[in-house]
Every structure is written in C-alpha cells, then in structure tokens.
A and B are shown apart, each in its own frame.
Chain A
C-alpha cells in the first residue's frame, strides 16, 4: 500500500474506451503531472470498471474493479467516487468534459458539497489553488475561477485542450485496489437497457478534423461530398443549426449553442456564415472557411479563407485525396 499522503494530490477520473484509458483522460493525466510539479503534489489515476486497462502516467492508480461496474452510469459512479474522495481527500479532481463527465461531475460535486467548474479550457496552480479558466457567454467572456475553501477542487476539462503525452513513454504507476462500495439505493433506480451506437461518423466531439456544412452548402450532393471528405480525412461531418432543423443532417452532428461544443485541430466550414450561436460551439485550433460571401462573419474568424463555391471545393478536395499517391497523403491508420 502506498501512503495516504500520496493520494491527497491531484486525481484524474479516467474513462476507458476500447480496452484503453481514453484520450481525454490521458490528456488530463499529462496536465495533472504538470500541475502537480508546480506544488509538489502527487497524481492519481482513478479507474472504475469490470476490466481495468493498463494504467500509466501517474504516481498512483486507484482502482475499483467489479462486475457490476461494466457500464459507466452516473449514479453508481457518484456513489463509488464519493466514498473514495471521502476516504483519501484529494485536493483536486479532474474529469473529462464529455457527455458522461458533464453529467457525473455536478452530481458528485453536489454530494460532496464542493465547487465545480465546467468545461475548462486552461488550468493552473497558484498558491496551492487550482485556477480554472472557462468560457462563458458563448466564448465572449473568459473567467478564472477558484474554489478556495472546499475540497476537492473539481473541474471538467474539454477534450483536446491539452496534448496527450506519449503513452508508451509514460511512467508506470503504483496500483492501489479498493473494494467497491456497491450499488446504493439511488443507482438501483436507473437501469440501462440498451445502446444504439451513433457510429464513428457522429463522434464530432472526438474528431481531429471536422468538415462542417451550413446553409450555404448548396445541395444534398454537396453534403454527401462533405461527408465523404470527412471520411477520407479521418474526421467527421458537422453541421450548423439550419441544416439540422431542416432535417438534412441528424442532430448528433450539430455544432453550436444548441448543439455540441467541438474542439478539433481543424474545422473546415463549408457554407457556414458564422453566426455567433454557431461559433460559440467551435473551439478549433485552426479554421478554414469556404464561402461565396466575402463578408460572411466566418471569414474573419478563419485562419484560411477560400472565396468560392463549396461544391467545387469539396469535389476538388475529394479528388486530391482519392487520386494522389499514398506516399504523399497521410496514412491515417498507421501508428
């Protein structure tokens, strides 16, 4: 057993996907290490599940393994985490700001009676306190938030804000096992009875590249072409509200204030004017805008602007991907 003291630092609740610690959790483990170094705090990866993957990149791993933990469910996870937090009293607890984390974290924070900051885009340590930076008012305001008195200081962090460290080179950690607290009365009230995957194509929150379509896309064929390009680039199709409301693209693809917030490395906006409600959901590293209107607001928010027809652009892009020799184009499946 490790010391209790070692478990009082920074915790990262790790999600598991395809038998591995998922990407946002790795990003958070990397950031936790950086924050921990500032204040001399140890880091702990917290993993709950039926099968526990290989865990790296922290001082300790706190593991609760049980058959009843096969599917993440907020009430059950709240119950388990509540007991772990009460027992070891970490200073900081970070969670990925995906759908599950955004639903679990407030439940847990309320049970613990502590502060929670949603959807952070930057973290820092100052005088022993976690400085949590988050956007509000559709990205028009950034706020630095502290939780001075209550513990743990809790934050959900947007995927792709931090770079995931090299997993193979990450240090091994000391594994500590905890027995499950078991189902409580509340979690017995919810039963997950089925799952319909929306397919890779709708995973817009996780894609590196999004090809997004808006009202100026021109035709259904162009939407299909955008989807094709997204697939070729190893990305996903996104859409602005009018196309979703018009029934041309399913809701799971919608980016913006009434859809999802996305943070891909590259956002290719085709025929999207760039209304503030749409841009509120775009936290991309780089933006390409393709539009026939030079005065469209998106043209000022784009790193690269192409004045022209979306259909012609998409066809040319697809051609470039399908006709260029593989040595020139990236092989997205190789590691």
Chain B
C-alpha cells in the first residue's frame, strides 16, 4: 500500500507571531513546528504501513527550511520526504496549494491513500484536503475518526459528522482528513532521528511539477486578503460572588430565559 501524508509547518505559537503594534505577522524568530493535527495523519499512515505493508511519503509545501521538519517526520518512520518549494508558490491560497500538492502526487504516481490532518492551526481553514482530493479526482472523507479495515481496494471508515458518527465504505484511492481521536502519535526513536538527519529530502520547484493548470502562488489564487487586523479580545470583566448572583445577571442579560422561549431551535 502506498500512502501520502500531507504535512504543514506552522508557527510554534499563534500568539507570538503577531506584532502587537501593527498586527502584522512576524515571520522571523518564531520556530516552525509540524502542524499538531498532521502528526495524526503521519501516525495513521505509519500504522497502516505496519499493518498492510507498503511505503509512506510525507509531502509538504513551504519555505526551504521546512526540509528540517520533514527530516523529523522521516525520523518517525516515514520512508521519504518531499518538499515543494519555489518563490512562484508564495501567496498561494488553499486551492492553489492543493494544485501544487496534486501535481506532486501525480508526478509520483497515484497512491492508494492520501492522509491529511483535519485542519492547520495557523490558517484554520480545513480546505486543502478536500480541494486536493478534487484536484486528484478521487473521493474524500473529512473528519475520519477510525479506519476500520482496508481490503479489496476499499476502506471502511468512521467519520464524525455534525450529529454523530457515520460509517462509510470508500473505494480507493481516496483522501481522508483525520481527527486526533484516530490514534496517539509515537515519539521518534534514536535510530529514527539519526536516519532522519541523514535522509535525503527531495526538493521540487515549479519547474519539476509540469503544467499546474489554474495557476499557483498569488497570481493563481482567487482569494485576496484585503486587510488584516488584530481584534481587541479584551473584555470588561466583572467579579461575581457566586451562583445566585450569576443567575440574576444571566436573567437580566436574557441569556437563560426568553431567548430560548422565543423559539430559536
């Protein structure tokens, strides 16, 4: 079984990434880490490899420094890391990013499974996974909580929907975005770390990826950031003595009574 895990480098801390005066991003000085939820995609890929055999590749689009993050992913047991980096990719929105990832997947040949984390902690869109599946022309299932079985070119999975868990049968190849309840990520072993340090990470740019129909980078993105600002998260906090006083306040503020009575479901 051939599996691709898509991973993203994100800032280690959302808080320190913003200039408190201008509200703009501070790119320097903040270490990058593997997006926390991508660790579950990597772990699930490794477990499937252990169970069914095959190989796992980790795929990431980002700045050249992401190579080090991919080494740390290889240290976990992933067979190879591929970094997609090029100035032409800068400013890509989610769809343009999906196009780059799709081109890389197609270059390597369609795998049986593509796994992504549910969402990245910085952009917080949860869009690249489904978009990548569409670019690849394969089905996707979002928010997968459990991969129960893979047999005869088909996966049985359980996904967390809005009101409960759906069981699904999906023909492979397919793309799943996974929840953190799917597994517990392992820590790298010492031999793994050594292997990661020595691993050759493939680095591909625009020219390595063929046509990229629809465009990439800022030019190939339909969405534009008009402006960004730092919201004022401060609130006026009032000290309350206890439950009884709180109930009076909640009633006054219409937070527990009339609103529900008005019939909003």
Contacts and interface: CB of A to CB of B under 8 A. Distances in A.
Interface of A: 17, 20, 22-23, 74-75, 78, 98-100, 102-107, 109-111, 113-119, 131, 135-150, 164, 186-187, 189-199, 202-203, 205-206, 208-209, 233-234, 251-252, 257-258, 265-266, 276, 280, 285-288, 299-308, 313, 316-317, 319-320, 329-332, 334-335
B33 to A, nearest CB: 13
Given A107-B134, A140-B18, A195-B161, 17 more contacts: A102-B127, A103-B142, A118-B94, A137-B124, A138-B121, A141-B229, A143-B225, A149-B222, A190-B171, A192-B166, A233-B256, A266-B255, A304-B249, A313-B242, A330-B256, A330-B261, A331-B261
Interface string B52-81: 000000000000000000000000000000
Given A141-B228, A195-B165, A335-B261, A117 B223 contact: yes
B124 A186 contact: no
A193 B98 CA distance: 29
A107 B130 contact: yes
A198 B165 contact: yes
B247 interface: yes
B98 A110 contact: yes
Contacts of B152: none
Contacts of A251: 145, 160, 179-181
B171 to A, nearest CB: 4
Contact of A195 (B156, B167, B214, B261): B167
A53 B140 CA distance: 29
A168 to B, nearest CB: 9
Contact of A287 (B137, B141, B235, B242): B235
A110 B95 contact: yes
B131 interface: yes
Among B131, B166, B221, B256, max chain A CB count under 10 A is at: B256
A334 B253 CA distance: 20
Contacts of B218: none
B209 interface: no
Contact of A209 (B129, B241, B256): B256
B93 A330 contact: no
Contacts of A258: 36-37, 180
B187 interface: no
Contact of B169 (A148, A193, A316): A193
A190 B125 contact: no
Contacts of A148: 224
Contacts of A118: 94, 124-127
Q: How big is chain B's contact interface, by range?
A: 35 or more
Nearest to A317: B243
Nearest to A198: B164
B28 interface: no
B43 to A, nearest CB: 14
Contacts of A115: 93, 95, 221-223
A150 B142 CA distance: 26
Contacts of B121: 138, 257
Contacts, number: 265
A146 B223 contact: yes
Most buried by A among B162, B170, B180, B250: B162
11 contacts: A103-B143, A106-B134, A110-B135, A113-B222, A137-B14, A140-B14, A145-B225, A251-B180, A257-B121, A287-B235, A308-B242
Contact of A150 (B140, B222, B263): B222
B150 to A, nearest CB: 14
Contacts of B179: 251
Nearest to B118: A258
B245 to A, nearest CB: 9
A194 B239 contact: no
A292 to B, nearest CB: 13
B174 interface: yes
Contact of A300 (B133, B174, B234): B234
Nearest to A138: B14
B20 to A, nearest CB: 10
A304 B17 contact: no
Contacts of B87: none
Contacts of A136: 122-124, 228
B109 interface: no
A74 B134 CA distance: 11
A208 B259 contact: yes
A298 B104 CA distance: 44
A316 B139 contact: no
B246 A304 contact: yes
A149 B37 CA distance: 33
A276 B130 contact: no
B242 A306 contact: yes
Nearest to B135: A110
B211 interface: no
